[in-house]
Structure 1
């Protein structure tokens, strides 16, 4: 008769297998949905030439235009610009190096650099020009996908992962910080549409591919175990 009781060691192994299986299922779902969303958006914009969502988004944003709202959107969009994200990434890297959490420092720098290269490559590939009717000043560079949305998703998304994994914050504080970061992320995306420097589909595509790359690169980095570095 087969023995059904597992030893403590075997039970630990079995628990790890179950956890790993759940993580893989979640990751595969995230990868599939985010990448599929990006492909669908690109297909509709560049192959089907369907831009009705962009026009409706501009019309909605135009209905909200006031001097105060414009100042707010200019302020919010700064937090998705390279003027903020470059020093923010450097400060975050230095912070975790001082705390001797090298895994986070590696992850932050690797995701920041790789996402920048991917964003530039995608912009050159799709070669979509900016909207011709900016609310204030014209933005430089190409339009699809939105660099603000892409880079913000990578940076703030990683920040949310770090907040979620840290054990010290009180659960209420942790949820407050997560909601705060999500709201900021959404406002950054909307600010690009409001200021008419990006189409709605640019922003949506930037969030989608940024979400995909954030989880893909984070997963791959976690599987790499350089000698002498502790996993955070």
Structure 2
């Protein structure tokens, strides 16, 4: 867009439109890739019965087993459990309410509740049982997709969106925080495979469908936000 003949006010509007277009393209790209990935994984596992990747992942994780590593994995997996994510979501909502930024609180609570319902519905739909060889003790519930992966992406992914949109942090600090969050997500996913309470395809599917719902719900909430409530 040629902005040479535009007034300062018109340039500001044009810049906002350009930024919105870029954000929408990125959102659509991630949404499409994530949804396609989930469909492919589900098709291969439940229709083609191809689970070779699961066995290879278990073999790799087994080669790393030690008492020290197991303790580390137990610690990491806690950050993807409901014991951590429920209070974390509540505290984050309260934090933004105290800062009078209710738009974030609405988005956090809406995504947390909706993602929980979708996760439970998908588990019942696919009805895949847990691995029969847990490293420590059997996990309750069904296996596909991984609830740890799904809920972690929705919580930490939303945290990444908030960090990215905030203006205060220095760009370098932003990237450091984003990389740390991504590393935590990957470690949570691997911890479920290491502890043998989820298959590799469970975790990957959880990441894919979690990302799909995070970006879709975030976009929808921004579109239907109450009048006077700024976009988050």
Superposed CA RMSD in Å reads 1.5
Structure 1 residues 15 and 169, CA, compared in 2 at 3 Å: closer, same or farther?
A: closer
State how far apart, in whole Å, the 1-side matches of 2:50 and 2:137 are: 26
State how far apart, in whole Å, the 1-side matches of 2:171 and 2:18 are: 25
On the 8 A contact 1:102/1:230 being kept in 2, the answer is no
Instruction: State the shift of 1:153 in Å.
Output: 0.4
Instruction: State the shift of 1:9 in Å.
Output: 4.7
Secondary structure, counterpart of 1:138 in structure 2: coil
Instruction: State the shift of 1:228 in Å.
Output: 4.2
State how far apart, in whole Å, the 1-side matches of 2:23 and 2:171 are: 22
Paired position in structure 1 for 2:210: 210
State how far apart, in whole Å, the 2-side matches of 1:80 and 1:202 are: 14
State how far apart, in whole Å, the 2-side matches of 1:94 and 1:10 are: 38
For residues 95-144 of structure 1, give each alpha carbon's deviation from its aligned partner in whole angstroms, at most 9, with x where no partner exists.
00000011100010000000000000000000000000000000000000
Secondary structure, counterpart of 1:130 in structure 2: coil
Secondary structure, counterpart of 2:125 in structure 1: helix
Instruction: State the shift of 1:12 in Å.
Output: 4.2
Secondary structure, counterpart of 1:219 in structure 2: helix
Paired position in structure 1 for 2:88: 88
Paired position in structure 2 for 1:189: 189
Instruction: State the shift of 1:7 in Å.
Output: 4.3
Instruction: State the shift of 1:173 in Å.
Output: 2.2
The answer for unaligned runs of 5 or more in structure 1 is none
State how far apart, in whole Å, the 1-side matches of 2:137 and 2:194 are: 12
Paired position in structure 2 for 1:160: 160
State how far apart, in whole Å, the 1-side matches of 2:21 and 2:182 are: 27
Secondary structure, counterpart of 1:225 in structure 2: coil
The answer for unaligned runs of 5 or more in structure 2 is none
State how far apart, in whole Å, the 2-side matches of 1:63 and 1:119 are: 31
Secondary structure, counterpart of 1:230 in structure 2: coil
Paired position in structure 1 for 2:130: 130
Paired position in structure 2 for 1:75: 75
State how far apart, in whole Å, the 1-side matches of 2:120 and 2:138 are: 19
Instruction: State the shift of 1:57 in Å.
Output: 0.0
Counting only pairs closer than 5 Å after superposition, residues 1-232 of structure 1 correspond to structure 2 as 5-232=5-232
Structure 1 residues 36 and 178, CA, compared in 2 at 3 Å: closer, same or farther?
A: same
Structure 1 residues 226 and 22, CA, compared in 2 at 3 Å: closer, same or farther?
A: same
Secondary structure, counterpart of 2:80 in structure 1: coil
State how far apart, in whole Å, the 2-side matches of 1:179 and 1:25 are: 22
State how far apart, in whole Å, the 1-side matches of 2:186 and 2:112 are: 19
Instruction: State the shift of 1:19 in Å.
Output: 2.9
State how far apart, in whole Å, the 2-side matches of 1:139 and 1:222 are: 36
State how far apart, in whole Å, the 2-side matches of 1:98 and 1:130 are: 41
State how far apart, in whole Å, the 1-side matches of 2:11 and 2:174 are: 31
- How many residue pairs were aligned? 229
Which region of structure 1 is more displaced relative to structure 2, 160-169 or 41-50?
160-169
**TM-score scaled to structure 2, two decimals?**
0.94
